[in-house]
């Protein structure tokens, strides 16, 4: 797996963290949100 570092605002981090469920990674959350577009 390739990893990349992203700089995000604190507010965005909090929202992603709130959207995350147990066992889910930030990548999972971002992918889920992008698929809803």
Q: How many angstroms separate the Cα of 25 from the Cα of each of 1, 34?
A: 14, 14
Query: Residue 6: its pLDDT value, please?
Result: 95
User: Are 31 and 19 spatial neighbours (Cβ–Cβ below 8 Å)?
Assistant: no
User: Are 25 and 19 spatial neighbours (Cβ–Cβ below 8 Å)?
Assistant: no
Average pLDDT of the residues of the chain: 96
| 3 state DSSP class of 24 | coil
pTM of the predicted model as reported, rounded to 2 decimal places: 0.78
In the predicted model, is pLDDT for residue 19 greater than 90? yes
The residue-averaged pLDDT of 15-25 equals 97
In the predicted model, is pLDDT for residue 37 greater than 90? no
Query: Could you tell me the pLDDT band of residue 21, with boundaries at 50, 70 and 90?
Result: very high
Q: What span, in angstroms and rounded, lies between the C-alpha atoms of 30 and 35?
A: 9
């Amino acid at each position: 797996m390739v990893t990349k570092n992203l700089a995000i605002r604190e507010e965005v981090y909090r929202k992603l963290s709130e959207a995350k469920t147990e066992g889910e990674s930030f990548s999972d959350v971002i992918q889920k949100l992008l698929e809803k577009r």
